[in-house]
Amino acid sequence: MNYLTKIPRQLSLGLLFLILSMSAYGKKPVLIAEDRLSEIETIRDLALKSDLGYELLESLTTEVGARMAGSPQDPLAVKWATKKLKALGFDKVWTEPVTFPSWKRGVETASIVSPYPQPLYITALGGSVSTPSDGLIGQVVHFTDLDALKKSSIQQVRGKIVFISNRMQRFRNGRGYGPAVAARGNGAHEASAKGAIAIVLRSVGTDNHRVPHTGGMRYKEGIKRIPAAALSNPDADQLVRILARGKSLKLKLNIGAHPAGEYTSYNVIGEITGSSKPKEVVIIGGHLDSWDLGTGAVDDGAGVAIAMAAATIIKKSKIKPKRSIRVILWANEEQGLFGAKAYAKAHHQDLENHIIGAESDFGAGRIYEFSSLFKEEDKPFIEQLKRVFRPLGIKYANNEATPGPDLIPLFTSGMSVFGLAQDGWDYFDLHHTADDTCDKVEPAAMAQNVAAYTVFSLMMADYAGDLKRPTKQKTKQQKEK
Question: How near is the Cβ of 267 to Zn ion at its closest, in Å?
Answer: 15
If one asks whether residue 436 binds Zn ion (CB under 5 A), the answer comes out as no
Stretch that binds Zn ion, among 143-151, 276-284, 296-304, 458-466 (CB under 5 A): 296-304
Q: Is 299 one of the binding residues for Zn ion (CB under 5 A)?
A: yes
User: Would you say 238 or 437 has its CB closer to Zn ion?
Assistant: 437
Q: Which residues contact 72 (CB under 8 A, 6 or more apart)?
A: none
Smallest gap from Cβ 290 to Zn ion, in A, equals: 8
The 10 Å CB-count burial string (b at 16+, else e) for 259-283 is eeeebebbbbbbbbbbeebbebbbb
Catalytic residue flag (residue 333): yes
Nearer to Zn ion by Cβ, of 270 and 294: the residue is: 294
Task: Determine, following the binding rule CB under 5 A, whether residue 359 of this chain makes contact with Zn ion.
Answer: no
- CA–CA gap between residue 167 and residue 203 (Å, rounded): 8
- Inter-residue contact 413 to 275 (CB < 8 Å): no
SS3 label, residue 270: strand
Residue 292 vs 299, nearer CB to Zn ion: 299
Q: Helices then strands (H, E): number in the chain?
A: 16, 17
Say if residue 101 is preceded by a cis peptide, omega within 30 of 0: no
Minimal distance, residue 61 CB to Zn ion, in Å: 14
Q: Does 423 bind Zn ion (CB under 5 A)?
A: no
Interface with Zn ion by CB under 5 A: which range of 151-159, 235-243, 294-302, 377-385?
Answer: 294-302
- What is the rounded CA–CA span in Å between residue 209 and residue 293? 15
Count of residues touching Zn ion (by CB under 5 A): 3
Piece of the chain touching Zn ion by CB under 5 A; list 48-56, 82-90, 246-254, 293-301: 293-301
Exposed (0-12), middle (13-18) or buried (19+): which is 193, by Cβ within 10 Å?
A: middle
Burial 299-309 (b: 16+ CB within 10 A, else e): bbbbbbbbbbb
Is 77 or 467 the residue whose CB approaches Zn ion more closely?
77
Nearer to Zn ion, 242 or 283 (CB): 283
Restricted to residues 321-350, the positions that interact with Zn ion (CB under 5 A) are none
Work out whether 361 is an interface residue with Zn ion (CB under 5 A): yes
What's the min distance (Å) between Cβ of 311 and Zn ion? Answer: 20
300 binds Zn ion (CB under 5 A): yes
Nearer to Zn ion, 274 or 303 (CB): 303
Among the listed residues 333, 369, 400, 442, the single catalytic one is: 333
Q: Enumerate the H helices of 284-436 as residue ranges.
A: 302-316, 338-346, 380-389, 408-412, 427-430
How far is Cα 314 from Cα 214, in angstroms, rounded to an integer?
36
Q: How far is CA 431 from the centre of its chain?
A: 11
Report if residue 406 touches Zn ion, rule: CB under 5 A: no
Question: Could you list the residues that contact Zn ion (CB under 5 A)?
Answer: 299-300, 361
**Active site residue ranges:** 333
